Amino acid sequence: MLKVGIIGCGKVTERMHLPGYAKCPNVEVVAVTDIVKKRARDMAERFSVPHIYTDHKEMLKEAEIDAVSVCTPNYLHARHTIDSCRAGKNVLVEKPMATSMREAQRMIDAAKRNKVILMIEQPRRFSPVTQATQEILDSGLLGKIRGLRGRYAHSGPEHWAPGSRWFFKKDEAFAGALADLGIHIVDVLLYLVGKRVTQVAGFTSIVEKKRSEVEDNAVFIIRFADGTLGEISAAWTQSPLEGSYTIYCEKGWLESTRSKLTIHMNTPRGTFEPEIPQRNRFGSPWQYFANCIEKGEKPFIDGEEGARSLEVILAAHQSAVRGCVITLPLPRK
């Protein structure tokens, strides 16, 4: 039985990580940590977790755990991940993995040095729609990719995680809709198209959430090494939620929502909807994480993959601030 400890007892732990691990027959969550003791106690009581801590280092030292979920605000991801790696624990860290490329590299290095697994929690990769999209693209049915666009938007973190004001603070989140939602669509598109981004140009704005220190809307263009262009946007000012992407190819194009995939071809086959499997081949992110640990396998969303997506988000943010095109790669030192 794989034993897990969780650092941070906010909404993502309550709504995703603890329920996710509860469905894994080979995993037991034995400890939770939060700087607010009542929050840790309430979470432990609700999910029958035997041990609570207010200091993550005490948990890493005392609790008998094999792995850790890092579910704290963005600016703490690197610190908590590196401490966990140094303690010999495998780590599943929430997105975005860090707030800078320097932090991301330190996390990657810590995992390698201590011979533990580092995985980034990017749930869109585990969607059956994403897996169906990948199969269509890999089959060659649509030919070479010529362009793409994607959007992820909802009404804001205050509706998903009431009371979590850190989302709106620059020194804790580093960016707003970009870091919270843009990272989702960037990650899934980079995963699907398999191309290297070389330039990013972006704009950000505070349209609605006037008390926020970070953007609630962002639009940016990415240029890949082969010249392919993509348009991506993220927003905290839209309801209902939208998570969609379109990929344009030689022989047609495909469009995806969170639950549907439509193919448009310039052949007699025309427009059709391929069958979407009920489940993806990896299982949930939490089951997959546990399986990787048990098998000693590198996850397909490891630290380097997480850093690729983070780099694009950081470049879009820098472009908006500086008013210029940002060339990749960004320095990691």
- In the prediction, which pLDDT does 278 show? 85
Residue 111 DSSP SS3: helix
Question: What pLDDT is attached to residue 281?
Answer: 87
Q: How is residue 35 written in tokens? A: 């700087």
pTM recorded for the entire structure: 0.97
Tell me how far apart the alpha carbons of residues 192 and 122 are, in angstroms, rounded to a whole number. 13
Three-state DSSP class for residue 210: coil
Quickly list H helices, 143-220. Answer: 157-160, 170-173, 177, 183-193
Residue where the block lists tokens 């990749």: 328
Encoded tokens for 183: 């990272």
pLDDT attached to residue 333:
87
So what's the pLDDT on residue 207?
A: 98
Rg of the chain over Cα atoms, rounded to whole angstroms, equals 20
Q: Which domains does the chain have, with CATH numbers?
A: 2-123 (3.40.50.720), 126-280+311-327 (3.30.360.10)
Q: From the centroid of its chain, how far is CA 263?
A: 26
Per-residue pLDDT of the chain (333 residues; tens, 9 = 90+): 999 999 999 999 999 999 999 999 999 999 999 999 999 999 999 999 999 999 999 999 999 999 999 999 999 999 999 999 999 999 999 999 999 999 999 999 999 999 999 999 999 999 999 999 999 999 999 999 999 999 999 999 999 899 899 999 999 999 999 999 999 999 999 999 999 999 999 999 999 999 999 999 999 999 999 999 999 999 999 999 999 999 999 999 999 998 999 999 998 889 999 999 888 889 999 999 999 999 999 999 999 999 999 999 999 999 999 999 999 999 998
The C-alpha atoms of residue 38 and residue 48 are separated, in whole angstroms, by: 15
